[in-house]
Structure 1
C-alpha cells in the first residue's frame, strides 16, 4: 500500500482490539473503529492491504486474483463502497455466457437453453419437467441429489454436475446444499420453457448488476479504505496465539496484548496458531476442508469476445471459468490489447504442472476464438489461492459451530469469507467488518 511503512518491532505492545488480517473484513472493521476513535491495531502478514482484492501490473497490463466484482445489495455498505471509490466506480450490467456443446448460451444455464443443440435442449427440458412432476417424499441432503430433484437429469448432466465437479474438486454426493442460497437461481417452469424456445431470460441471479473500478483494478477499493485506517501494521503475520492470556505473537511486532480480537484469516489456520490448543479444537480444525485455485492472467492482442466472464463445464477445458478484465475496464490493458483471466481448481496441496496447464489453456482459448494463436499472448502471470473455496460437507456442519463457539468464549471473533469459513462475496465481507466492529465496541 503506497505510503504505508512496515511495522517496527516493539512499536505496539498493547491494544484494546487486535484485528488479524487486512482483507476487506479487517479493513472495514478498522475503518469503523477509527471513526469511533477506538483503540485498535490491524495486523497484516503481507506487505500490502486488501487480501485477495489485490491487483498487479505487468508489462502495461493490470491483473487481479480473477474476477473480483462488486455486487451491491445493502444500503450502508453500498454507500460506503461507492463513496470510497468515488468517480472511479463504474456500473456494469452482466455479460456472462456458458460454453458447452460447441455453443455460447446465456447465464444462467438452466433458464437459457435456446442456443443449445436441439437434442441437448430437449433432454434438459424433458428432464426438468419430469423432476417437477416427481414431488419427492424426501428432501435431498446432498448437492447431487438436489440437482436431480430440482433441475432433472438433463440440466444436471450438461452443466451442474461437470461444472461443480471442476469447481469444488469434491464428490458432489458428499457436498451439502448449505452454500447455495442466492448463488444458484431456481427457475419457474415458465422461465425454463421461455428460455428454451423463445428468448433469453434476463436479470436472473444475484450478479446481474455490479461495479468495478475504472482504473487501478479491484485493489482500488482496499487502497481507498486503507487510506482511512491509521493503525495498520504490514509484514506482521500472526505466529502464535495464547488465547488464555490474550496475547498474540506477531512477526516484527513481538507479543501484543489485547482485550478483544477479530481474526479474518482462514479459521482452520487460526486454530492451528493456538498455543496448547485442546484436542477438540485441533480435531475440528482438521475437519475443515478447502480446495485451491490457480489463476492464469494473460496480456493478449485484442480479444474479440464481448463477455465479462464465461463458464466452461466440459472436461476438454482444463479451466472452469475465464473472463476479460478489459471488458470491465479498458484501462486494464494498453490500447488495442486485452487482459484475460482463467481459473482452474484442484484439491488442496495437489501438484499442478503450470507449464503443461498453460499450454492446454492456450489451446482451449484458441479453440473458442478468445485469441487467434499462441503468438497473440504477450505476457502471463500465474497467481495461486491456496485456500479458495471452503468445502461444505457434514464435517463442516459439526466442526464450524464448535470452533466458533470456543473462540467466542475467549473474546475472539472470527469473521469474513474465510474467518467464518463460508462462500460469500466482497460486499458481505465489508458488512461483516462493520457488524463486528459494532459488536466489539459493545462488549
Structure 2
C-alpha cells in the first residue's frame, strides 16, 4: 500500500527495488528534498537483507553481519544500526575439509597448518603473481598455494558459483567497486608488506549486528525515507514504462500513471531489459539460491565459534551452513538451535526438486554430526531466484554489451547487486544506491544552474 499520496502529474524520482541499494538511494534523495517514489514487488522491504522467524529463531536471508567501513554506504548502515541495540563480536568463519575446520580470516590457526601449506602461503605472499591469469583459481593459488586451493577452495567455488575456478573471473572474489554505469573502479594497489599487515589487523576484527536481526536495517531505512517525505508502494505488482526517444517519461503501477523525471533501477537487470523491450541484449549470469532453515531440539547451548562454515566436499549438498546462535552469542531461544543451509541448485548435478534438496540437506546435517534428524523440529525452504551474480571469464564484454542499451536511456541508472550485475557485500550495495542518488542530484542541480 502507498505510504502517502503523490501527485502523479508532477515528475518524481522513481526508485525500483527496496533492497539496500534502493533504500539507500531513496533515503539520500528524500533527505535532499527530492520527490521520490519507491516501488517494491515484494510485500516487505529489504530484498536479500531481510530476516524471518522460524520456531522462535531469527534467521537472515544470509547470513549477514556488518563491519565498520569508511565509505558512504558503510557509514549510513552503521548510523542506522545505532538506532537500536547492537551485538558486537569477533568475526570468524571456517572451511571444513580434510577432517578439520580451517579458521579464517587467517587466525593463528594458520600456524597449525601442515608445513607444506605454510610454505606455500608464504611463497604466495612474498612471490610475484603470474601475469595474464584472470581466473579465480589463479588468484587464490597465487595467495594460498596449489595445495590449499585444491583442498579448500576448488570445491567451495564450484558449489557456490556453479563454475570451476578456472572458468570463474577473479573479480568475483575481489569484488571491486563500480561506478553507476558499471565501470570498474581501480583496485587498491598494495605492497606485499601492506597485504601482510592487512591480514594481521583483520585477525581481531569485530562485526556489528542489530539485536533483532539484520532485517531491522531495511525496516529502519524505509521508516527514515518515509519521515523524509518519500512515498513507497510495497507489493506494487507489475509496472510498465512509458518512453519517448531516450527518456522514461512515466511509470504505470496499480492502474495509475505517474510522471517520472529520473529513474534508479535496483531489481534484476534482466527484468529491466524486458521492461525496456531489449529482447536481443546479452543476459547477465545469475544463479538461484536455495536457503533451508532448520530448527533442532538442543538441550544444551552448542558451541559455535564460526558465523558460518563452507563445505567444499562434493558429497555434502549445501555449500555453506550458518548459525544464528553464533551471531546472537547465546541470546536466542533456549532448548533449540537454528541452522541455515545454502544451496546453489545450478551447481547440483542432475535435476532435483526443492523437496529432494531439502531431504538431502537434512541428511547431511546428521552426516556432519551437527544434529540427528530425530531432533528436527521445524523446516522451511526459500528459493531466491536469480539472486547470485556470477562472473565467468568473458563477463566484462557481456556486461558492457548488456549495459549499452540501458545507458542509452538518458534518465535511467541501473545499480546494485541485481541491477548492476554486481557481486558485493552490504556496504557496497549501499554505496551503489548512494552513488546513484548523488548522480541524480548532480543532474538536477545542473538543470537549475543558470
TM-score by length of structure 2 reads 0.82
Aligned to 1:233: 233
CA shift for structure 1 position 382? 0.8
For residues 298-337 of structure 1, the C-alpha deviation after alignment (integer angstroms, 9 at most, x for no partner) is 1222362322111111112211111111221268742232
Aligned to 1:39: 35
CA shift for structure 1 position 366? 2.5
- Pairing of 1:422-437 with structure 2 (within 5 A): 422-437=422-437
| Structure 1 residues without counterparts, runs of 5 or longer | 193-200
* Alignment coverage as a number of residue pairs: 417
Paired residues of 2:136 and 2:172 also in contact (CA < 8 A): no
**245-254 or 413-422, which deviates more:** 245-254
Match for 1:283 among 264, 281, 284? 281
For residues 41-94 of structure 1, the C-alpha deviation after alignment (integer angstroms, 9 at most, x for no partner) is 111111111111111223322222120222331254444323323232222211
Paired residues of 2:157 and 2:164 also in contact (CA < 8 A): no
Aligned to 1:195: none
Does 2:82 correspond to 1:71? no
Does 2:144 correspond to 1:151? yes
Q: Using the alignment, how far apart are the partners of 1:291 and 1:265 within structure 2?
A: 15
Paired residues of 1:126 and 1:154 also in contact (CA < 8 A): no
CA shift for structure 1 position 154? 0.6
CA RMSD of aligned residues (A): 3.4
Does 2:330 correspond to 1:328? no
CA shift for structure 1 position 268? 2.1
Paired residues of 1:263 and 1:415 also in contact (CA < 8 A): yes
Does 2:100 correspond to 1:103? yes
- The alignment partner of 1:99 has SS state of strand
Q: Using the alignment, how far apart are the partners of 1:165 and 1:105 within structure 2?
A: 18
Aligned to 2:297: 301
Paired residues of 1:320 and 1:344 also in contact (CA < 8 A): yes
Aligned to 2:154: 161
Does 2:400 correspond to 1:404? no
- Pairing of 1:352-371 with structure 2 (within 5 A): 352-371=352-371
CA shift for structure 1 position 8? 10
Change (3 A) 1:424 1:44: same
CA shift for structure 1 position 433? 1.7
For residues 318-357 of structure 1, the C-alpha deviation after alignment (integer angstroms, 9 at most, x for no partner) is 1111111122126874223222211111329985333332
Aligned to 2:420: 420
Q: Using the alignment, how far apart are the partners of 1:28 and 1:132 within structure 2?
A: 37
Paired residues of 2:68 and 2:78 also in contact (CA < 8 A): no
Paired residues of 1:53 and 1:68 also in contact (CA < 8 A): yes
TM-score by length of structure 1 reads 0.83
Paired residues of 2:45 and 2:219 also in contact (CA < 8 A): yes
Q: Using the alignment, how far apart are the partners of 1:202 and 1:318 within structure 2?
A: 33
| Structure 2 residues without counterparts, runs of 5 or longer | 177-189, 444-450
For residues 235-287 of structure 1, the C-alpha deviation after alignment (integer angstroms, 9 at most, x for no partner) is 22453334435145444144333121100012122112113x3x6xx332x2x
Change (3 A) 1:144 1:83: closer
- The alignment partner of 1:229 has SS state of helix
Q: Using the alignment, how far apart are the partners of 2:166 and 2:63 within structure 1?
A: 28
Aligned to 1:340: 339
- Pairing of 1:101-180 with structure 2 (within 5 A): 101-108=98-105, 112-115=109-112, 121-125=114-118, 127-128=120-121, 138-180=131-173
Paired residues of 1:15 and 1:256 also in contact (CA < 8 A): yes
**58-67 or 250-259, which deviates more:** 250-259
Q: Using the alignment, how far apart are the partners of 1:385 and 1:225 within structure 2?
A: 22
